[in-house]
Amino acid sequence: MLNGQKYLTVFRFAFIQTLRNYKALVGLSIFLITCMVIFAHLWKIAATKIGAINLHPDQLLWYIAFNEWVLVSLPDVQEDIEEDLRSGRLAYLLPRPISYLWAMFVEGLGVLCARLMVLGLVTFIFTWIRAGDIPFGWGALPVTIAVGLLAGCIGVIFKMFVGVSAFWVQQVEPFHWIWEKLLFTLGGLMLPLAVYPDWLQKIARFTPFPAILGDRSALAVDFTWSNVLSVTSVLLFWGVLGSCCLILLYRKGLRIVNIEGG
């Protein structure tokens, strides 16, 4: 119970600090809108050239909006973990009465929730004004938001996975770059997976990326409870698998530090 209150305090502090840093939120909002406008035009060109995108331009805009909403909201927790390991700050944080790994996740979750709330409002208003309508019922909006939050949590877990690799490498940026590019490509960020070759679509289905981005965002334009259940199940599977791998990798890293006296 006491640990729960401590984690709640960590979450609350990260949430409030993110909201107070309004300049960063304004910058992220401008970046988000810019990406949406650019990708919308790219998709219009792609639809004309290859004729493989069976979505109305307004539906494409909503699809882009829900993709970018979660993607831009993800905090860079991998950088914080890398800095803690590089500076030796981890040695001072480990004796605390709460788990370092859980504390980092809860802190990242606090930042994520604050960003999702603010950027979600900006994204919705901008897209609604530009498209003139919403392609889903109002009852579907809370469910779509909840699935977006779940996808964001999975994104935080995998970013922490990248950060923990700092036990073995000096810089995690190359690993994060690879993870991010795979997310963009196999997640269907700039183009729906439907336009990809069949072999690439099959590969993407063995990764968490479509559920984090493309398949989840498709709920905004093709909302059915079967699709919601499918995406949620995939996200939960990767969340459990990613968490288990993260914990094992973290514990192995701690053993290496203890053996080497780092």
Mean of the per-residue pLDDT values for the chain?
86
Kindly state the percentage of the chain with pLDDT values over 70.
Answer: 91
User: Tokens representing 37?
Assistant: 């406008």
Reported as a single tens digit per residue, the pLDDT across 92-106 is 888 888 889 999 999
Q: Is the pTM of this model over 0.85?
A: yes
Reported as a single tens digit per residue, the pLDDT across 124-163 is 998 888 877 777 777 788 899 999 999 999 999 999 999 9
The larger pLDDT score, comparing residue 163 to residue 189, is at 163
DSSP string, the chain: -HHHHHHHHHHHHHHHHHHH-HHHHHHHHHHHHHHHHHHHHHHHHHHHHH----S-HHHHHHHHHHHHHHHHH---HHHHHHHHHHHTTHHHHTTSSS-HHHHHHHHHHHHHHHHHHHHHHHHHHHHHHHHSS-SS-TTHHHHHHHHHHHHHHHHHHHHHHHHHGGGT-S--HHHHHHHHHHHHHHTTSSS-GGGS-HHHHHHHTTSSHHHHTHHHHGGGTS--HHHHHHHHHHHHHHHHHHHHHHHHHHHHHHHHHHHHT-
Q: Is the pLDDT confidence value at 19 over 70?
A: yes
Cβ-based burial of 213 (10 A; exposed 0-12, middle 13-18, buried ≥19): buried
Give, in order, the Cα–Cα distances in Å from 111 to each of 18, 25, 59, 246: 6, 11, 29, 20
Instruction: Domain of residue 222: give its range.
Output: 2-260
Q: What is the CA radius of gyration of the chain?
A: 19
- Check: CB of residue 148 under 8 Å from CB of residue 69: yes
* pLDDT value at residue 63: 85
Number of domains forming the structure of the chain: 1
Q: Is the pLDDT confidence value at 261 over 60?
A: no
* pLDDT value at residue 255: 83
Reported as a single tens digit per residue, the pLDDT across 24-67 is 999 999 999 888 888 777 766 665 555 555 666 677 888 888 99
